[in-house]
Amino acid sequence: MNGAYSGRQQKLTTPSSVRPQPGDRSAYTVDYLFEGFPGKSATHGGLGWCTVSLVRGRGRVALIDTGRFGARRLLIERLAQLGVSPADVTDVLLTHSHYDHSVNWTLFPTARIQIGATELDWALSQEWGSSVVPELYMRELESWPNVTRLADGDETLPSLVAHDTPGHTPGSMTFVLDLGEFDVVFAGDAVKNRSEWETRRAEFTIDAEASASSIREIHSRWLAREGSVLVPGHDAPLVNRAGLFEQRQRQPATVTARLDREPSETKFELKRPGSVT
């Protein structure tokens, strides 16, 4: 069933990718390689299952965030399924420095790595072991020859602009892709999930007031154009339908485990109790 959110759980559909109109060579294609999952482990620390997006067009191949260590093999496989190799990637855009979004930048040594200047400075200032910043990777990135330090309003690719959205971290950035009739807003962890989007209250934030202000700013930008897509850091995309949001059914989140002597695996589907997939 399609429709806008009305305060109850619905099965909603939005594109799993954004495609240009036939013949429009100036447009971009957007694919969601990983759709973030809005969950955390109660016993083993954070899951770190974040959204990773691929933007292609105008001679550029760009990743927005890179995922965690455990996603490396799948990341390369999913790029290959789209005919993209690591050497083809021209740009890596990091919404912020936390490990689950940033650590795999090293898979793309020929790409330009773009990160907020404020964010990189903050990451480098963190006491080792005090946060989920991958300290050694940020230290290496500081002197990397292909690093670009971004400021608010910088155009990272043609029609793709970086905006400061602090709170989750001091230098978090949102990337807004202008596709003509609508925008795609890559929010990173400025908006992690649908709950934060609806309540305007962010969890796991350094500055709650700054986060609330950033969410309001992102919402105003998203609301300005019908059909605009919000891509949260840890949830399925949300589409603006007449000022209300439509969220497509989340991708399956599955864990397998070998719990007995037998080699067979037990499969666990992570979903809302009583929901169907």
Pairs from 77-82 (Cβ < 8 Å, separation ≥ 24)? 78/33, 78/34, 79/33, 79/54, 82/31, 82/54
Residue 258 class from Cβ within 10 Å (0-12 exposed, 13-18 middle, 19+ buried)?
A: exposed
Q: Is the pLDDT of residue 6 over 50?
A: no
pLDDT for residue 164:
98
pLDDT for residue 35:
92
| Between residues 179 and 267, the one the model is more confident about | 179
- pLDDT tens, position by position, 204-223: 999 999 999 999 999 999 99
Band (pLDDT 50/70/90 cuts) for residue 47 is confident
- pLDDT tens, position by position, 49-59: 999 999 999 99
Band (pLDDT 50/70/90 cuts) for residue 27 is confident
- pLDDT tens, position by position, 68-121: 999 999 999 999 999 999 999 999 999 999 999 999 999 999 999 999 999 999
Name the CATH topology of 17-251: Metallo-beta-lactamase; Chain A (3.60.15)
Please count the other Cβ atoms lying within 10 Å of the Cβ belonging to residue 11: 13
Please count the other Cβ atoms lying within 10 Å of the Cβ belonging to residue 105: 25
Residue 60 class from Cβ within 10 Å (0-12 exposed, 13-18 middle, 19+ buried)?
A: middle
| Helix/strand/coil for 18 | strand
d(CA 6, CA 148): 42
Phi and psi dihedrals of 274, rounded to 5?
85, -10
Beta bridge partners of 18: 30
DSSP percent split of the chain into helix, strand, coil, nearest 5: 25, 25, 50
State both tokens at 165: 């959205």
Q: Estimate to the nearest angstrom the gap between the alpha carbon of 217 and the chain centroid.
A: 17
pLDDT for residue 261:
78
State both tokens at 23: 């013949």
End-to-end CA distance of the chain: 13
Element (H, E) at 206: none
